[in-house]
Structures are given as structure tokens and as C-alpha cells.
Structure 1
Amino acid sequence: MTLQRLKWVSIVAPILFIVAIELARRVIFRDLLSGWPGYLLLAGVILIGVLFFSETIFNVIDRTQERLEQTNRELLALHEAGLDITGDLRLDRVLQGVVDEARGLVGARYGALSYLDEQGVIEQFLTSGTEPEQHSTLGPPADSVLGNLAAHAATTDNPDGQPAAQSRLAVPIAAHGVVLGNLYLTEKVGTFEFNQTDGETLARFATQAALAIENARLHHQVRELAVAEERERIAREIHDSVAQVLGYVNTKAQAAGALLDAGEIERATVQVGQLGQAARDAYADVREHILGLRATGDADRPFVETLRLYLETWQQQSGIRVALVIDPSDRFEASLPETGELQLLRIIQEALANVRKHAGATHATVALGLGTGWVEARITDDGQGFDPVASARGATPRFGLTTMRERAEAVGGLLTIETNAGEGTTVEVKLPMGARRGETVRRGEH
């Protein structure tokens, strides 16, 4: 009974009761209800009617309140489940979170999710509450199904150790008219049968799940696109670098050949030695570029994990000890957009490349931190440093400082250099949380 009907019943029922009592007193039982015995009997009837009416109304109110409380609990659980699946942008974790949360939301023993690619073919199949060998009992249905759809009856003795599907509940997960996957559950705990409320709850959750999956999918695509653009740019850098080295090698080889023809062995030996050094430098540069490509190759790997793996390999290749300093309570994955993470990683790589090539350092440190609205990174070394004033006048190479600064400004950040000859170098970069491509924040020229 709805509240509107309850209001009308509470008004009409007492009126009808009073009319009936008055009719009985004046017409039907006029002689019987006269005098004190009649008045007492009438009072008893009225009291019984009032008690019956009150009990009925209170029962209806209690049932309505229970339904409202149950609905509130379901909505709260649905809200919490939605928050859980939207708290991560990695597609694989979002998909697993969807099937786990759905199973707990309606009290299902087993659950599964078939995730479809753009052609509608199952790309991933994830389960919850099952072992991998049990997947065959949870074949994905095409439409929403309520009730008993068991292919075979439940048994207590299952030789294959597989769950018997007593009932199955399934909904499609769709966003903007495109089906992203199918979510389905089997065996409701306690009753085995799903009801209409379970179906409605799962359908509402599927709407939230579709948004979370679509968001994670777009995040994955944007990151892959950014990685592809970065890899193409690095490939051009390698090409230009190799072309420059080959030109240098060609010049030195011709000079060495001419000196050998002239019989100037010592000068030719110097030229050959320079050739060897150029080849070793080029080899180190190419290895460093390849390492950078590998570091940005996995679009789903968390930023801190990517950086840690890069530093470990860089230390092995360069022979320079490097330490990563980070507060474990900071959540960098939730602080920067995809382009910001990629640019920060490339700035750190470029700074470490300068350490290897020019600093003459034995130790470097990469420190990450979260400031007020900023993500900060400091790259320090114990090398020879350089004179920034002389560098600004062009007396010494700029060591890629312009490139690093442009990378920071491209995502709305800023970069500063602290160094003096013989005192090491500190590169500090700050990127705004939620930075977007094209936003620029300047704090003056450095």
C-alpha cells in the first residue's frame, strides 16, 4: 500500500466506521443498545474497532518502513559498489571489481563478466567465486534472465567439483548504446533463486559499471595514444642522433685515412681513438633511448612502478647508483593525467641522461612528492655541476635543458635548475594535478 492510499484509508475508514456504528445504534439495534448495558456494549465495539484499525495501520506503516529501509540499504550498497569500481582507472582492475561487487551486491555465489572488444568479440572473461576450471558452468547468456535456468539439477556430489547453476541472473553492460560486456551471476546464497528486486538492483549497477568501464577504456586508449606519440618522437630522436654520430664517424674516418696515407701514425691513432669513443657514446645513447621506450611501453602499468623499473635498469647500464625516494602514502596514479605522467617520466629520463653524459657523478637521487596542487620531482646528483650563467650565454652545451623545460610547460608545469660548478646539479619539476595539454604556468625564466 502506498502512502497516498494509506492517507485516504486513515480518513475514510474512521468515517465509515462511525457511520456504521451510528446506523446500528439508531436503526438496526435501537432497542438493544438503549440504556447503560447498550452504551457499554457500544463502547466495547468502538474500542475493538479502534484497536483493530490502529493495529492494521501500524502494520502497514511498519511494512512500508521496512521496505524503505531495505531500499535505502540497497541504494547505499549500490552507491558504495559504484564508488569502489570507479576508484581505479586500470581496465583490468575495473573489470574484476565489477564482477566482484556485483556478486556481493545481490548475494550470488558465483559471478562472471565477458568483456567485449569493439567488434563484439569476447576479449576478456573474468570470474568471481570460481576456479578457472569452473568457467564452463557459467556460459554468458544473451539477455537478462530471471529464475531457474539450470542446465542440470543441483547435486551435493559433484565429481568435477563444479558449481551447479541453480538460477542465473544476467544483464548487459552498455554505454551510449554500445554493449561493452555481459554480467551474469549464479546461485543466490540461501535461497538459490533470484527475484525481481535482484534483477533491478543488478540493472542499476550495470549502468554504473558501464560508465566505469567506459572511463577506464578511454583512459587506456588515451594513454596508449600518448605512449605511441612519445615512442614516435623518441624514434625520430634516435634517427637524428644516429645520423649525427654517423656524420661525425665519417669525418673522423676520412681524417684518420688521410693521416695514415701521410704516414702520421700517432695523429691517426688519436683519430681512431675518438672514433671508438664516439661509437661507445652512441651505443650508450641508443641503449638509453631503448630503455625509455620500454619504460613507456606498458600503458596500464602504474607510474611509480614504471619509474622504479626504469631506475633499476638505468643503474645497471650506467654504473651510477640511483635511489628513489617517495612517501608511500602519496597516490601519484590519482594525481596526474596520462600526458602528465608521460612527460614527467621523460623529464626524469632526460635529467638522468645528462647525469650519465656530463655530470661525472657516482650517485643520483630521484625524489617524488605531492604538494598543494602540484606533483613534484627532484633529480639530484653529486657530479661536477656547471655554470648556469655561462650556459645561458651559450658558452657551454645546454644539455637538453630547453627540451625538459618545454616538456614541463606543455602540461602546465615548470622546471628549475639549481647548480654550480663543482657542486652537483638539482633538477626540480612541478606539474599541476589534473594538468591538460596546452596549459602553461610560468614562474619566470631560469
Structure 2
Amino acid sequence: MTDSLPRLPPLLEAVLGVGTDLELRVTLQHIVDGAAELTGARYAALDIADPGPGQDGLVEVRTAGPSSGGTGRSDGSLGVPVRVDDGSLGVPVRVDEEVFGTLHLADKEGGPFTARDEQLLRLLATQAGIAIGNSRLYETARQRERWIEGAAAVTSALLTGESAAEALMTVAERARVLAGAAAGVVLQATPEGGMEIVTASTLEDPGDIVGTVIEPGSPVLEQLLGGEPVFIDDSATDPRMTTHVRSRFGPSMMLPLQADGRLIGTLALPRRRGERPYTPVEQLLATQFASQAALALVLADVQHRRERLAVYEDRDRIARDLHDLVVQRLFATGMMLESTQRRATGGAADEGAEVHAVLGRAVDELQSTIQEVRTAIFALQQPPADAPTTFRGKVLRETAGVAAALGFQPSVHFTGPVDSRVTEPVAGHLLTALRRKLTAAAHRAGVSRIEVTVDATATLPDGRSGLRLTVYDDGARDDGEGTGTTVTWRSPL
């Protein structure tokens, strides 16, 4: 025969049960369940006065069971139970001298609530306040840990080589998740003196959020451009907010992305209308996150600039080597062949004509090779990450784009001062024609070579100076008559 362990007193069981978990929601449920079991109430509920961080908007915790109609009230100044009638009882739950909420009991089994029930409930409420305080500290610690981990993750992501736009999106998206916000947006200063939303991360379609501008003169703009955080209880009604999207949002934080005195932009984290405001702890953590993210953005930008500088230096070296060694040798070889060609004209007629033709083809090939090497040198001198600004660069970008589909790089030749003679409207028309002709050539069967020639010294049929584009490919002709297709486009200058 075995002796069962003695049962703990009900009050001790309830007190121990209240403090068995650090999760706030679970702790609150233990308080309600313990109060119901301790007093024999069929109904128990904890109405929370002001939900704080980590409570997920929680306003009430209940046990199963119907209410008898009576509702307990509490006297916040006295902090003692108040019995509305014999069927219901209420007591305030205090945390650090602050009324956290009210614990209501109703429908006691076997009769009305007694003075002993009031005393037990008061003792339980005192212990509950301690347990809730511990849970709050735990939730705050977890919240700090999440923000710190989020800042570290953003730093790691930004230093892996993301583009500027991707970096801003990473900051906006991670901050939105950490803050429990409806949106995470990044604003940057405009040349006119305002600020524009350049990046937006939302759970739904951002719609017309991106591109929204805070115009100069807005009351909140001076603080943002000055690098000061702005905290707003309700974006829709705050007179400082002037954008057309403000009506969608409620509480919001607008935090400077600033490092080493440089203002990169502003991180805004608005919540939906009706959601709880940000607490001081959340405001502090988000501000620290923004500072860390700004520093990471600056470091990522510096790293990206160093990488680009290394690419520039390497390309300059290759271009110098090509120019100094290859072009000069090819040019010297071409001069030697031309001299040989002139001497060959003095020999026998048949032999001289044949040698003259061979040497002519060799000279032409050398001149074509020199032109292609010069084109390659020019391409190496273009910024790798930026869109080309010169006409030559734009033509090379179009041919490079079709190279991925072809599996080889088209040959490009320029004749004359194309960058100085070709105007912007004419350049746009030529690029459109080039794009269309390259696409057609890429779809022809058997294409292994494409030659593009841009001639700024051409003469049009009417005698005017013009620009001529010629695209040749060695693929099957559209009419089925052999191979090789040459298409030409002309425009006056």
C-alpha cells in the first residue's frame, strides 16, 4: 500500500500556478483560472486597462462559463475588492502601483461570495501583480532580443552586396515585421526640399504609397530633415500629417536613418487605424534599430564603392594594355602590309593582282580588328553598374543585351564622331531601330555572326549628311534564298 502525497492548500496551489509561466498571456489565464477555482466561481474574467507591448492587443481573459449578470467593479484608489451584490465580486490587479486591470468573479457555486472569498481574492491579486510584472520584464527582454537580432540580420544582409534599392527594402521590411506595423516605408529628401517615399513594404499591395511626397512647408518636415524622430498617435487626424495616404494609418513612428552626421532618409512605421500606440520601449528600440540600419547602409555603400573602384582600376589597366600593345602592333602590321601591297604592284600582272587582292583583304581585316578593339576599350571604360550616358555606350548596351540570347557578342563598328554629331532624338530613333533589327536577327536560323555598323559620315540619297545603321547577320534569309541578311536604317543629322 502506498500513501498519496498530501494535497497543497488551495490558496498555495493558486499562488504557485500564477507564477509557473513567463508568457504574459499564459500568466493571465492562470490568474483567471486560479481565482475561479479558489472561490468556486463559475465565471471569471480579467479586463485589462491598457494593453502594453507583447500582449497582442489583449483586452480580456475569461474562463469558460456564463455570467449571472452582475459585474464586479474596482476602486482604483483603494485597491480593495468591491462587492456589487452577493452574486459578483471585483478586485483591481496592481503592477508597480499601477492598475493593470480588474479581476471579476460571478456565479459562485453554493451561495454568495463571502468575506473569506474577498480576502483570498485580494491575496491572489497581489501575487498576480508580481507575476504580471515578471512577465512584462520577460516580454520586454524578448522584445529587445528580437530587435537586436533584426538589426544584426539587416547588417549581414546589407553587407552581402545588395543594390541600393534592395538595401532600403531590406530595412523597411524587417522593421515592419519587428514593429508589428501595417507598413514599413523609407523616405528620402527631394531636390525641391521635401521628402518622398522611395520604398514601401506592406502586407498588402502598397498601391500608391511609393512616390508619395511630403511637400516643403509641412509641419513634420522640419523635424525629419533635421534628423529628429517623430511619434504620432493617429496619422489620420494629426494636423502635422499632410499626405493623401495618412487616412489609412493610425499610430506611427518616423525615425531618422542617420550616421556620421549624414541623413540617408527616414524610416516610417505606421500601424492601422484603431491599433494601440507604440510604447516608450518600442519607440526606443525602433530608434536604436534605425541608427544601426543607417550605419549598415553607409558601410554597405562604402563597400560597394570600393568594389566598383577596383573594377574601374582593373578595366583601366586592361584598356591601357589593349591600347598600348594590341592596337599599336596591329597598326604597325597594317602599315607593313600596305607597303608590301604597293611594292607588289610592280611585279607580274597576274601574280601582282593576286597578291594585291590578298593584301587588300588582310588590310581590311586588320582595320576591322582595330575598330573592334577600340570598341572593346570604350566598353571597358563605361561604369559597370550605371546606365550609359553616351551614344556609343547605349549602342553597346543594346548589342550586349542580345548577346545573352545569341551566345556570342555582336561585332560593333563606329565611323565618324558619333557622340558629338548624333542628337538625342535621332539617337532614340536609331536605338529603337537597332533593337528591332537585332531581335529579328536573333530569331533567324543558323546565325553565328552579327555585324553592327553606325556611320555618322554617311550621305543620304538626297545629298544631305546623315546617320546610317547597318545590321548584317549570316543566318538563313527570310525568303529562303540562301544565307546572309543586311538591313539598313538612315536618318538625317
TM-score between both structures, scaled by the size of structure 1: 0.48
Point out the structure with the larger strand share: 2
Structure with bigger gyration radius: 2
Larger RCO: 1 or 2 (CA < 8 Å, sep 6+)? 1
TM-score between both structures, scaled by the size of structure 2: 0.44
